[in-house]
Structure 1
């Protein structure tokens, strides 16, 4: 299907974590079908497999595939957990930039940066706090341009500055942030009030 060709092209750039032999299912299609499953409401490996299994004949016809069955949920888990997160983020940023360039009006638009705590990402057993992610959202095209994970011992402010530098925000673009970003460091140490 032509509408998915640009996305399949960029997904093909992601390094495959599997060995060279035994690749029954091509990585770009596995990733695309996982994305479609998640967008349609699936939230587990088994849900992704169920989506592929239910729609397998239609997916085979549309994408000229010959899948006899959906991959096992363990295979999907192995593939998705084996991906390099930096490579996946780079590919999605490139795809978002292509979509943004095709849809945006030059000289207009705004980017909203906002941080979120990922529900259920904390790990009490390993004493790990919940993961926080900062997202850049193009409001004129309704596209998420990038994500960056906020370091555990840090906050949104340095992450937002780094993300804006990486995105190369064009001149004239409006960037909106939370009030948290209005802080400034004092130029000198604060004096303690003296008691009378």
Structure 2
């Protein structure tokens, strides 16, 4: 059967169009009940266009996509592993995921690995990221203790196993620093094109009153103007890719400016001391960059305990927020918190072995990254920070995975 939605066991022997038509009629009541999923994950996934050929479809949409998300929540890393995990699911779990019933036995049927792989390769990746991103934003907003000001970290990541060098999938993501939730994701044509995807990435978010942090690649005049127009703050790192601005910052009278924030940290064989200075840049100190009103210098002294040697790194940054809008402590927290997005990438690489994946067909590499983002975000919203341990726990009981997704 030339369908994206295959099935196992005796149902796989169905070949006649009349029998397929009869089964489709039996499923019509289920597939037409997208409204009953409400605002839960199945309802969210139902907003994504169904990419399957309607001929031979067995499972109601979006059941196969929900099975894939649940499998990722149980730590599965590939389409083959997703199919194997789904094949062992009990009937009750498959029912929660909206799977169809075998017309002979009446038991639920799991989509196989081929079905999942074809589906992920053809799914509308933009629609999937948008739907899941909006749902996660709503969930993050409802979490008790949510901070009043949203701080958004923006950074990109190449999926190294998704193709040959120069032809690899590169994704740009926006992460809420406070919750660790992935708010948005988009793809880019290459590392050098990440700049052009900055505004499209953030365009669907409510930026009024938010603060956006980004590395030196995105310290761009167009970005600064656009964020200011959208009533957002920015904190941008400055390096030598902006040579004039970098020279201006370096030439400021830092020796006369007091240290306003000091933080210390230990771990991984290091002892860090970070000292932050800020200065309001008006009049003769004005910076040649749109809306920049404060300059920031961080000097990080690091002791490598194994060698007993100290090293010093100086980092410059700018912001369009005044001293009354952003205190030195705020700025230090936001600059340090930007690494939240690097932690996300590290989890996908080490726990899900994303860079080792050789999934390369169509939209599948990005779609799998979206599913991983979704699960990691939900685990963080649940207060779980040791992601690998949480995935191992879910793998031992499929009910835990669907409970995380709110499908019980």
Post-superposition shift, 1:21? 4.1
Q: What are the residue-to-residue correspondences of 1:20-169 with 2, within 5 Å?
A: 20-60=54-94, 62=96, 66=101, 67-103=107-143, 105=146, 107-123=148-164, 128-152=166-190, 154-169=192-207
Post-superposition shift, 1:153? 7.1
Rate the CA distance shift 1:54–1:180 in 2: closer, same or farther, 3 A.
same
Decide whether the 8 Å contact of 2:63 with 2:98 is kept in 1. no
The structure with more strand, counted as a fraction of residues: 2
Decide whether the 8 Å contact of 1:111 with 1:174 is kept in 2. yes
Which structure ranks higher in relative contact order (CA pairs < 8 Å, sequence separation ≥ 6)? 2
Rate the CA distance shift 1:102–1:63 in 2: closer, same or farther, 3 A.
same
Give the TM-score, by structure 1 length: 0.77
Decide whether the 8 Å contact of 1:114 with 1:177 is kept in 2. yes
Distance 2:170 2:212 in 1: 20
Distance 1:45 1:115 in 2: 24
Residue 111 of structure 1 aligns to a residue whose secondary structure is strand
| Between 54-63 and 108-117, the greater mean CA deviation after superposition | 54-63
Residue 187 of structure 2 aligns to a residue whose secondary structure is strand
| Between 103-112 and 22-31, the greater mean CA deviation after superposition | 103-112
Rate the CA distance shift 1:44–1:105 in 2: closer, same or farther, 3 A.
closer
Distance 2:97 2:126 in 1: 27
- 1:15 match: 49
| Between 138-147 and 72-81, the greater mean CA deviation after superposition | 72-81
Residue 137 of structure 1 aligns to a residue whose secondary structure is strand
Distance 1:175 1:89 in 2: 19
Residue 133 of structure 1 aligns to a residue whose secondary structure is strand
Residue 19 of structure 1 aligns to a residue whose secondary structure is coil
* 1:177 lines up with 2:214 in the alignment: yes
Rate the CA distance shift 1:21–1:181 in 2: closer, same or farther, 3 A.
closer
Decide whether the 8 Å contact of 2:60 with 2:98 is kept in 1. no
Structure 1 consecutive aligned stretches of length 4 or more whose deviation exceeds 6 Å: none
Provide the aligned C-alpha RMSD in A: 2.9
Instruction: Please give the per-residue CA displacement for 1:131-155, whole angstroms capped at 9, x wherever unaligned.
Output: 2111100122221001111223733
Q: Which has the larger radius of gyration?
A: 2
Rate the CA distance shift 1:170–1:107 in 2: closer, same or farther, 3 A.
farther
Give the unaligned 5+ runs of structure 1.
188-196
| Between 4-13 and 142-151, the greater mean CA deviation after superposition | 4-13
Instruction: Please give the per-residue CA displacement for 1:79-102, whole angstroms capped at 9, x wherever unaligned.
Output: 222212222222122212322332
Give the unaligned 5+ runs of structure 2.
1-35, 102-106, 222-241, 245-408
Rate the CA distance shift 1:80–1:164 in 2: closer, same or farther, 3 A.
closer
| Between 176-185 and 42-51, the greater mean CA deviation after superposition | 176-185
| Between 104-113 and 79-88, the greater mean CA deviation after superposition | 104-113
